[in-house]
Amino acid sequence: MSIRYDGKVAIVTGSGGGLGRCHAIELAKRGAKVVVNDLGGSVDGTGAGSDAAQAVVAEIEAAGGEAIANGANVAKYDEVEMMVKQAMDKWGRVDILVNNAGILRDKSFAKGTLEDFKLVLDVHLMGSVNCTKACWEIMREQAYGRVVVTTSSSGLYGNFGQTNYGSAKMGVIGMMNTLAQEGAKYNIKINALAPTAGTRMTEGLIPEEAFALLTPETVTPAVLFMVSEDAPTRTILSAGAGSFAVARIVESAGAWLPPEEQTPEGIAAHWDAISATEGETQPQMGAEQTMKMVGLAMEGLGLNNG
């Protein structure tokens, strides 16, 4: 089975270099028409320029593909709207959105400023919200859409000095979880990439030998799969060095405590049962947690829930 995107239009943000560039080039190789979006700034988000995006477009065109460059700042909704309009004016549809744009302002929480925190949230989280919002109605009307948000192990598991980045990267998971439900009847699927790659954002953080294995090319296949016709939805796919894994948010089976033990001391006394990994589940919607908690209580109280 060959996965292709003939007749599909893709927007890839932050695709002037690194992972985004690789995503854009590979989508184009498989038939997609691509909007190469890049603000052209440095890793910390300062500066701007169109050279990087134009170079990727030239590379795609040289290989026989179709692409246009766009310099929208994803943190500014009016610019994002114009980017989507540019795609619609040129090709008449938007099928695939890869939210890849990002910046770093790494500092410990004690030393970091709130201004930097907000800026990182604006680019990673609100940038993903802005781009997805601008494409959402188009995808609903055409009854087709594939969206990827970019999360990170820093958000899923934590990483020293990246409170701002980790908060934003966990935020996009909350966005994905709900949009997967809202988009289901319109054939809109949304997934998350948790990449490990040797890019300018990770240079100097990873040993040289390992860095050589962590090429963007070993991550991009995960994106290509997640934006395909038969993609899953609401999946966190980790990728790096040619290895792939699925990350999940699970909840323990839990335990009901009788009224006299519904105290902090009671929780402490029953902690092993409350936190046991046996019987863990992966809830598909928030209401499942409520139903489970009530079900445990009714069982504990001996009430008939029929």
Q: What is the pLDDT, as a whole number, of residue 15?
A: 97
Q: Is residue 306 a part of any domain in this protein? A: no
Q: Are residues 242 and 160 in the same domain?
A: yes
Walk along the chain (306 residues) in steps of 10 and give the mean pLDDT of each run. 96 96 98 94 56 96 98 97 98 98 94 97 98 98 98 93 96 98 98 82 70 90 98 97 96 97 98 97 94 94 74
Q: What is the pLDDT, as a whole number, of residue 304?
A: 65
The structure tokens listed for 27 are 């989508």
Burial class for 253, CB neighbours closer than 10 Å (0-12, 13-18, 19+): middle
Q: What is the pLDDT, as a whole number, of residue 50?
A: 75
Q: Are residues 273 and 192 in the same domain?
A: no
Q: What is the pLDDT, as a whole number, of residue 1?
A: 81
The number of domains in the chain is 2
Q: Is residue 1 a part of any domain in this protein? A: no
Q: Are residues 183 and 292 in the same domain?
A: no
User: pTM of this prediction?
Assistant: 0.93
Q: Are residues 276 and 237 in the same domain?
A: no
Q: What is the pLDDT, as a whole number, of residue 44?
A: 53
Q: Are residues 144 and 227 in the same domain?
A: yes
Q: Are residues 122 and 157 in the same domain?
A: yes
Q: Is residue 181 a part of any domain in this protein? A: yes
Q: What is the pLDDT, as a whole number, of residue 204?
A: 67
Q: Is residue 17 a part of any domain in this protein? A: yes
Q: What is the pLDDT of residues 52-78, one digit of tens each?
A: 999 999 999 999 999 999 999 999 999
Q: Are residues 198 and 264 in the same domain?
A: no
Q: Is residue 87 a part of any domain in this protein? A: yes
Q: Are 40 and 127 spatial neighbours (Cβ–Cβ below 8 Å)?
A: no
Q: Are residues 98 and 229 in the same domain?
A: yes
Q: 5, 157, 165, 186: which one is catalytic?
A: 165
Whole-angstrom CA distances from 252 to 63, 155, 204, 280, 293 are 51, 21, 38, 4, 11
Q: Are residues 14 and 95 in the same domain?
A: yes
Q: Are residues 205 and 282 in the same domain?
A: no
CATH number (domain holding residue 63):
3.40.50.720
Residue 11 neighbours by CB under 8 Å, 6+ apart: 34, 35, 37, 83, 84, 87, 94, 96, 97, 98, 131, 135
Element (H, E) at 193: strand 188-195
Q: Is residue 202 a part of any domain in this protein? A: yes
The Cα 231–Cα 216 span in angstroms is 21
The structure tokens listed for 286 are 């928030």
Residue-number span of the structural domain to which 111 is assigned: 9-247
Residue tagged 């980045």 (tokens): 165
Instruction: Decide which of 208, 224, 247 is a domain's last residue.
Output: 247
Q: What is the pLDDT, as a whole number, of residue 199?
A: 55
Q: Is 186 designated active site?
A: no
Question: Helix/strand/coil (H, E, C) string of 279-294?
Answer: CCECCCCHHHHHHHHH
Q: Is residue 253 a part of any domain in this protein? A: no
Q: Is residue 263 a part of any domain in this protein? A: yes
3-state helix, strand, coil in the chain (%, to 5): 45, 15, 40
